[in-house]
Structure 1
Amino acid sequence: MLKSYKELKVWQKAYQLCIAIYKIKKGFPKEERYGLTSQIRRAAVSVPSNIAEGYGRKTTQEYIQSLYIAYGSHCELETQIMVSKDLGYIKSDDFQELQQDIGEVERMLKALIKSLQGKHLNPPALPPLPIRIFLWMGCRKATDLAKGPPSAAVHKIKIKERD
C-alpha cells in the first residue's frame, strides 16, 4: 500500500511534465503571458494536483472523479502544446520530448482509472456457501461444529445430547 500520492508513478511523471512545461514556456512571447502561457501553466499544474487530490479523497468513486478531471486537464494541456508548437513558440525537439511525456502520462492515467473502476465495480466475491454457513454459525474451526451451533442458546433451541 502506498503511503502517499507522491509514490504514484503517474503523479511523479505528471509532476515532472509540469516542471518541464514551466521551463519551456519561458521562451513564449510576453504578449502571451496572460493568454496561452497562463492556460498552459494552469493545465500543467492541474494534472498532478488532481491526481494528488483524488488520492486524498475518501471513496474510490471520488478518486476516479478526480482522475477524470486530471485527464481532462491533460487533454487540454496536450492541445495547448500543439498550438504553441504550430505558432512557433516551442522548438520541434522540445515538442517531441513533451509529446512523448504527455503520451506516457495519458497511458498511466487511463490504466489507473481502469484499475480503480474494476475494483469499484467488482466487489470481492463471497466465500462458498458452506463456508458462509460455517461462519454464520459462529464457528471458527471445524471442531466448533461438534459442540453444536452457538446460536442455539440465543434461539432457545434444545440440542439433544448424544450418549
Structure 2
Amino acid sequence: MSFKSFEEIESWKKARVFNKLIYSITSQENFSKDFDLIRQIRRASVSITSNIAEGFERSTDKEFVYFLFVAKASAGEVRSQLYLANDLQYINNEDFHQLKSKVIEISKLIGGLIKYLKK
C-alpha cells in the first residue's frame, strides 16, 4: 500500500468534510427536536472516517478491507437516513441531493480502495 497514514486516503479526507456538513445540517432548527435521528446520522457519518482510520492502523490488508466494508456500510446507512430527513422536511431537496451525492462519492472511493487492496 502506498499510503503512509490514513490522512492521505482520499475517501477519509472527503468523509471528514462530509462529517462537518452532517454536524452543521443537524444543528439547524428543523432537526432540533429529533434527537434520535441527529445522534444516529452523526454516529453513522463519523463511523465512515473512524473505520477507515481504524482499518488502516490494523496490521494486514485483510483487516483493512473488513473495516473499509464497515465504513462503506455506514455510508449506506447515512444515505438512508438522509432520505428520512428529507421525507420529514428536516432538510430541503437541494441539501438532500448535495449530501446524497457526496456520500455516494465517498462510498465509490471506498469501493475502489477495497478492489485495489483485494488484488
Aligned residue number for residue 38 of structure 2: 37
For residue 32 of structure 1, what is the amino acid of its counterpart? D
Shift of 1:9: 0.5
SS of match in other structure, 1:90 = coil
The reply on whether 1:89 has 2:99 as its aligned counterpart is no
Tell me the TM-score normalised to structure 1 length.
Answer: 0.69
Equivalent residues in 2 for 1:1-163 (5 A)?
1-27=2-28, 28-33=30-35, 35-118=36-119
Distance, in Å, in 2 between the alignment partners of 1:3 and 1:112 is 15
Per-residue deviation, residues 5-55 of structure 1 (Å, max 9, x unmatched): 00111100111111111000112443311x111100100100011001111
* Unpaired segments ≥5 residues, structure 1: 119-163
Distance, in Å, in 1 between the alignment partners of 2:34 and 2:4 is 40
* Unpaired segments ≥5 residues, structure 2: none
Tell me the percent identity.
37
Contact 2:75 2:104 in 1 (8 A): no
Tell me the TM-score normalised to structure 2 length.
Answer: 0.93
Task: Give the 4+ runs in structure 1 shifted more than 4 A.
Answer: none
Considering fraction of residues, name the structure with more helix. Answer: 2
Which is bigger in relative contact order (C-alpha 8 A, separation at least 6)?
2
Between Structure 1 and Structure 2, whose CA radius of gyration is higher? 1
Aligned residue number for residue 150 of structure 1: none
C-alpha RMSD of matched pairs (Å) = 1.0
